[in-house]
Amino acid sequence: MDGNEHAVLLVHGLASSPLEVRYLATALNRSGFTVSSPSIPRYGYAAHEQGCGHWQEWLEAVRAHYIELQKKYDTVCVGGLSMGATLALALASQERDIAAVAVLSLTLDYDGWVVPWYRFLFNLAYYTPLRNIYRFAEGEPYGLKNVQLRKKVAQAMSTAAMSEVGPASLSMEQLFQARQLSKYVRQSAGNTKSDLLVIHAVDDETASPKAADFAMKNVGSPIKRKIILDNSYHIITMDNERELVARETALFFQESVHRKLSTGQTQGPQIVNEQLARAKRLAELNG
């Protein structure tokens, strides 16, 4: 989506597609940003045909898209949903020129209230013949608190292996690679220097708010903002508070771009200007 000279790279969730961040992408584009939300080979939905890649392949594919944007645009912000947020943090820990990173429903562990208690056995099962047989099935509530959207997704899941919110199931290989990526992010979080926005639902059924707490405590960003939602589940880019998610992400990215382009200012006036600018941008976004 073409916009101004400032770009945003959005990364969708594991085994899913850019459809789940489409609303956010459109909102960011309306705010002026050029937005890219590519499909990631051997990570997205097509991985069931292409084969699941290693997490390093996922990261390098995301980096390739980031580098292309960096060549063409004055600034680049990066955002991601679910495991896409984990990939966004991994990229930000290595690429210091990213203006801001937004992690939405950050997933460092599958520890939400819908995940079965025996999830710890997945690690052991990976090293058995079950690795090629077992798949973790997606079920109610499909990441959505919105009842109407959930019915739509349930219908899609019953007739196909895919819906707008992602796949009907995840393979053992995908879960294993996701854990390896999460382990890397836990180790490298302190290297991130980009501004950080964390948005997470308190009732996230897939990844508990512990991931958001970890990011706020351990990511090395000098500027951090955390927003906790109370009327959504995991897919916050599509659920009841999607407008709030889109508005706050656009606003945070605008603020970060402004700061990046104003680094020559003294800290005092810059803070004052940022407060005024934030109020102005919020009014513009609302109306």
- Please, which residues have CB within 8 angstroms of residue 197's CB and are 6 or more apart in sequence? 100, 101, 102, 103, 224, 225, 227, 248, 249, 252
- Please, which residues have CB within 8 angstroms of residue 240's CB and are 6 or more apart in sequence? 145, 146, 231, 232
Q: pLDDT tens, 25-73? A: 999 999 999 999 999 988 987 655 566 789 999 999 999 999 999 999 9
The superfamily CATH assigns to domain 6-286 is Alpha/Beta hydrolase fold, catalytic domain (3.40.50.1820)
| Residue 136 pLDDT | 59
| Residue 200 pLDDT | 98
CB atoms within 10 A of CB 96: 10
Token pair, residue 175, equals 């879960």
> pLDDT confidence of 245, banded at 50, 70, 90?
very high
Helix 55-72 to helix 83-92 angle, to the nearest 10 degrees? 60
Token pair, residue 57, equals 């392949």
> pLDDT confidence of 6, banded at 50, 70, 90?
very high
Residue 117 has pLDDT above 80, yes or no: no
Percent of the chain with pLDDT over 90: 61
Q: pLDDT tens, 246-287? A: 999 999 999 999 998 986 433 333 333 444 455 555 666 555
- Please, which residues have CB within 8 angstroms of residue 68's CB and are 6 or more apart in sequence? none
- Confirm if 107 and 81 have CB atoms less than 8 A apart: no
Q: What is the pTM of this model?
A: 0.84
Structural domain boundaries of the chain? 6-286
> pLDDT confidence of 171, banded at 50, 70, 90?
confident
